[in-house]
Amino acid sequence: MKLIYFAKEEWEIDYVKQRLPGVELVVEGDTDAEAISVFVNHPVDAAEMDKYPKLKLIATRSTGVDHIDAEEAKKRGIAVASVPGYGAPTVAEFAFALVLALSRKVCDAHKQVTETGSFSQNGLTGFDLAGKTMGIVGVGSIGQHTARIAKGFGMQVLVSDAFKNDALAKEIGFMYAELPELLGASDIISLHVPYMKETHHLINTGNIGQIKKGAYLINTARGAVVETAALVKALEDGVLAGAGLDVLEEEGDMQDEMHLLSGLHPKEEELKVVLENHYLIDHPRVIITPHIAFDTREAIERILDTTVENISTFK
Number of C-beta neighbours around residue 39 at 10 A: 15
Q: What are phi and psi of 164, to 5 degrees?
A: -105, 140
Instruction: With beta carbons less than 8 A apart as the criterion, state whether 303 and 86 touch.
Output: yes
DSSP string, 69-134: -HHHHHHTT-EEE--TTTTHHHHHHHHHHHHHHHHTTHHHHHHHHHHH-----TT------TT-EE
Distances (CA, A) of 264 to 46, 139, 254: 21, 43, 18
Question: How close are the terminal C-alpha atoms of the chain, in Å?
Answer: 10
Report how far residue 84's alpha carbon sits from residue 77's, in angstroms, rounded to the nearest whole number.
22
Report how far residue 103's alpha carbon sits from residue 124's, in angstroms, rounded to the nearest whole number.
10
Q: What are phi and psi of 309, to 5 degrees?
A: -65, -40
Q: At what angle do helices 88-103 and 141-152 cross, to 10 degrees?
A: 40
Q: Catalytic residue positions?
A: 222, 251, 291
Distances (CA, A) of 292 to 92, 196, 255, 288, 312: 12, 21, 15, 10, 27
Report how far residue 189's alpha carbon sits from residue 118's, in angstroms, rounded to the nearest whole number.
32
Q: Which residues make beta-bridge pairs with 79?
A: 57
